[in-house]
Amino acid sequence: MKTVIRKLIEQHGRLPVAMSTLADGQDLYAAGLTSFAAVQLMLGLEEAFDVEFPERMLNRKSFSSIDAIAACIAEIAPQKAVA
């Protein structure tokens, strides 16, 4: 799953740094993720994992790192988390 997440961040995150330099727990906002790009990333994740993020996950914290995103997806779509 994290490989897919990484690919989506690369596509939508508009980060000024290479994805390969980012650890799973690293703060994506500190790496340059803007709130605009975060929404684009959410849309990409919803499409790729065929999920809809519930209201309570639509905050800064849920998308603050690769680990945090993976935890959100694991929670709303446990069957996809193993992929």
Q: What residues line the site for another protein (CB under 8 A)?
A: 15-17, 29-36, 39, 42-43, 46, 53, 55-56, 58-61
Shortest Cβ distance from residue 22 to another protein (Å)?
Answer: 13
Q: Which is nearer to another protein, 32 or 82 (CB)?
A: 32
Q: What burial class does residue 47 get, using C-beta atoms within 10 Å of its C-beta: 0-12 exposed, 13-18 middle, 19+ buried?
A: exposed
Shortest Cβ distance from residue 78 to another protein (Å)?
Answer: 21
Q: Which is nearer to another protein, 13 or 66 (CB)?
A: 13
Furthest-apart CA pair in the chain: how many Å?
Answer: 33
Q: Which is nearer to another protein, 16 or 78 (CB)?
A: 16
Phi and psi at residue 65, to the nearest 5°:
-155, 170
- Whether residue 77 contacts residue 48, with contact meaning beta carbons closer than 8 Å, is answered with no
